[in-house]
Amino acid sequence: MANTALTRPARQVTARPAQRSRPRRRGQRAAYVFLSPWIIGATVLTVGPMLASLYLSFTDYDLFDSPKWVGLDNYVRMFTEDDRYWHAVTATLEYVVVSVPLKLALALAVAMLLNKDRRGTGFYRSAFYAPSLLGASVSVALVWRAMYGDGGVAGRVLGVFGIDVGSMVDQPRYALLTVIALAVWQFGAPMVIFLAGLKQVPKELYEAAALDGAGPVRRFLAVTLPMLSPVLLFNLVLETIHAFQSFTSAFIISSGRGGPSDSTLLYTLYLYQRGFNDFRMGYASAMAWVLLVVVGLITVLLFRGANRWVFYMGEGKR
């Protein structure tokens, strides 16, 4: 990438008279100087480590001794021998499949409520957005653990209704649900985007639909959803990718173990355990690359599938 970007202007330059090329080249140099923080950052902090991790994924590396080349061994072992790897895959898929739709549905519902002009809407918008600012933090995850743990608020509230579940975070049946609940609670970011999308829907469409006798449900299905579908796609892709990369909440809620019984062992958490508890950096790198490829594939599928349900204004489909 960097190569072509550098050589292309240079070729153009040789074709031109020397007089005009000089200041231009200088200008470019200045541009690169100003870009340098990003260029240095991207190479040193992103591209370099990525390539290093690709190399490490073919090695056995424990941080102490130098990496030993093992070819595809890590990948083979991951898919054929590692029980916990599949526990992690199952937990992650369950997490993504449940949390993403719930989060988007809640975000859309709240966005629609806040779309109406009432008193105090501004306040409510900020209030509902706040959790997504806090949600990724360690402190909230700790609070979550306390809420759903022994003698926590959740247990007591359910106790009032005669339901005794005990400590939810310590039971495989419920532990992942608490992590999902934390993810859904942070619906603020997609909500704001939905809200912006809702503002763009022309009022005439609703009026026309109402005149034709469409009720609220029909208006939602026939006007809101199609008009909002590009925004929905955007949120869906973004949230899916985020969900696959989710780490902090599961790490804190399970005290870093992914337990009980691997029920909250999200993919990235297992990756972390392999890397920093077992010191199998090669294996962890291989896991990271599999995740990258799978998330990439899922994104492509989402975009492909989008042709069927995403509606863009001005496509002449009316």
Determine which residue in the list 36, 46, 137, 245 makes contact with another protein, applying CB under 8 A.
36
Q: With contacts defined by CB under 8 A, how many residues of the chain interact with another protein?
A: 32
Give me 303's structure tokens: 């975009």
- Minimum Å gap between C-beta 61 and another protein is 10
CA dihedral (86, 88, 92, 94) positive or negative: positive
Please report how close the Cβ of residue 220 comes to another protein at its closest, in angstroms.
Answer: 42
**Cβ atoms of residues 39 and 47 within 8 Å:** no
Cite the DSSP H helix spans in the chain.
Answer: 2-15, 18-41, 48-56, 73-80, 83-115, 121-134, 138-148, 153-160, 172-185, 188-200, 203-211, 216-219, 225-245, 248-253, 267-272, 281-309
Binding another protein by CB under 8 A: which of 1, 18, 65, 117?
65
Closest Cα partner for 134 from 98, 190, 182? Answer: 182
- Of 64, 118, 162, 203, the one binding another protein (CB under 8 A) is 64
Footprint of another protein on 122-181 (CB under 8 A): 150, 166-167, 170-172
> Considering the rule CB under 8 A, would residue 276 count as an interface residue with another protein?
yes
Candidate residues 17, 23, 162, 316; the one interacting with another protein per rule CB under 8 A: 23
278 touches another protein by CB under 8 A: yes
Contact 263, 175 (CB under 8 A): yes
Which residue number, 64 or 123, has a Cβ lying nearer to another protein? Answer: 64
* Distance in Å, CB of 151 to another protein, minimum: 9
Q: Residue 84 interacts with another protein (CB under 8 A)?
A: yes
* Partners of residue 60 on adjacent β-strands: 68
Which range binds another protein by CB under 8 A, 30-38, 45-53, 88-96, 215-223?
A: 30-38
Buried b / exposed e along 120-155 (16+ C-beta atoms within 10 A):
eeeeebeebbebbeebbeeebbebbbebbbeebebb
- In the complex, the residues that contact another protein under the rule CB under 8 A are 23, 26, 29-30, 33-34, 36-37, 40, 62-65, 83-84, 150, 166-167, 170-172, 255-257, 259-262, 276-279
